[in-house]
Amino acid sequence: MILSSYALGANTAYIYIRGEYSWIVFILEKAIAEAYAQGWLGKNIKGSGVDLDLYVNPGAGAYICGEETALIESLEGKRGNPRIKPPFPAVKGLWQCPTVVNNVETLAAVVPIVNDGGDEYAKIGVGKSTGTKLISAGGNINRPGVYEIELGLPMEEFIYSDEWCGGIKNGRRLKACVPGGSSVPILPHYLVTKTAAGENRLMSYESLADGGFVSGSMLGSGGFIVYDETQCIVRNTWNFTRFYRHESCGQCSPCREGTGWMEKVLWRLENGQGKISDIDLLVDVAKKIEGNTICPLGDAAAWPVASAVRHFREEFEWHVQNPQACLERNYGLVREPAEIQPH
């Protein structure tokens, strides 16, 4: 952060921490106090003539405060509502001053870049996706955990290799995978290791996005979730939507009302009270939220729903047609379509 602030010519920097991670605040405050004591922070750092003050600021616990302008509002002590852009934070941010908002993962990459040089760092990874990425792998895998991978690692290797996830738990088969956090489109088993074009899918920004939203997804935040054949996609989608309903700030109407609506419809489908028309209704509502909101939370709420219906429509229909069975067991693997639509 000190290096980044030096590069930007910034004299004040803030570390914003979500309220749930309150114990980290104390660790950071200690570290900052040490840095001040050693002269790495404060006035005239190590005789360079550069000043920098660093503050730690906990939020009150809101997913929406990960959106940069909501984070800024929250830092200013206001309700964490995303601002309307433009102006972007780089023009008018915190206290109306130009502000750069970066993820801690981005700033962590500054150190190897400075130490080894940019060219050396760019050799890691593949294509435009250079460097490493922290992947927080969870779900039905043998070795869940946080892994730092070189971008460009084949997806198959990441899921099945003992070095990483170690394969699907209990010898079950892969059903689906969410490669980048709950907000990105879900991929069915036949699109996880291979793209629609038949190429190997790699853990990189480009390869995951291959096929657009029709047959691809996004690397997103690196929240990697694997589902085996016993998992219910409808229930999972409902769970995601419930989260977005809870975390929507309530400022703009499509997201505020739409997330609640989708959650209720999905709950009904999951509990065997759904109708066939509900499936198209979900797609329509998702489409009306997407792109029409102030911040990307609306998109994030709409994408998993739209993609789940796109790839797992059969399973949704099965829920409607078998209202009793869907309460007792899960659908299982989805059939691979005869021909995957190329993008």
From residue 228 to residue 247, the character string flagging contacts with another protein as x (rule: CB under 8 A) and all else as - is -----------------xxx
Is 294 one of the binding residues for another protein (CB under 8 A)? Answer: yes
- The size of the interface with another protein (CB under 8 A), counted in residues, is 30
Other C-beta atoms closer than 10 Å to the C-beta of 57 total 13
Tell me how far apart the alpha carbons of residues 267 and 74 are, in angstroms, rounded to a whole number. Answer: 32
Is 292 one of the binding residues for another protein (CB under 8 A)? Answer: yes
Q: Considering only residues 99, 204, 293, 307, which one is a binding residue for another protein as defined by CB under 8 A?
A: 293
User: Is 100 or 281 the residue whose CB approaches another protein more closely?
Assistant: 281
Stretch that binds another protein, among 150-158, 176-184, 229-237, 259-267 (CB under 8 A): 259-267
Is 184 one of the binding residues for another protein (CB under 8 A)? Answer: no
Only one residue has tokens 């250079």, namely: 130
Query: Considering the complex, what minimum distance in angstroms separates the CB of residue 309 from another protein?
Result: 16
DSSP 201: P
Quick check: 85 and 44 in contact, CB under 8 A?
A: no
Q: Considering only residues 264, 272, 317, 333, which one is a binding residue for another protein as defined by CB under 8 A?
A: 264
Distances (CA, A) of 204 to 104, 174, 195, 234, 292: 19, 20, 13, 28, 28
Query: Considering the complex, what minimum distance in angstroms separates the CB of residue 76 from another protein?
Result: 14
Query: Considering the complex, what minimum distance in angstroms separates the CB of residue 88 from another protein?
Result: 13
Spatial CB neighbours of 155, under 8 Å, sequence gap ≥ 6: 177, 179, 192, 193, 200, 201, 202, 203
Is 152 one of the binding residues for another protein (CB under 8 A)? Answer: no
Is 175 one of the binding residues for another protein (CB under 8 A)? Answer: no
Tell me how far apart the alpha carbons of residues 292 and 19 are, in angstroms, rounded to a whole number. Answer: 29
Is 62 one of the binding residues for another protein (CB under 8 A)? Answer: yes
| Entry field: residues in the chain | 343
Stretch that binds another protein, among 35-43, 110-118, 154-162, 281-289 (CB under 8 A): 281-289
Q: What is the DSSP string of 109-159?
A: THHHHHHH-HHHHHTSEETTEESEEEEEEEESBSS-EEEEEETTEEHHHHH
Query: Considering the complex, what minimum distance in angstroms separates the CB of residue 276 from another protein?
Result: 14
Q: Considering only residues 2, 4, 56, 79, which one is a binding residue for another protein as defined by CB under 8 A?
A: 79
Tell me how far apart the alpha carbons of residues 334 and 229 are, in angstroms, rounded to a whole number. Answer: 9
Is 143 one of the binding residues for another protein (CB under 8 A)? Answer: no
Is 281 one of the binding residues for another protein (CB under 8 A)? Answer: yes
Is 130 one of the binding residues for another protein (CB under 8 A)? Answer: no
Bridge partner residues of 149 (DSSP) = 133
Binding region for another protein (CB under 8 A): 62, 64, 79, 84, 86, 245-254, 256-261, 264, 281, 285, 288-289, 291-294
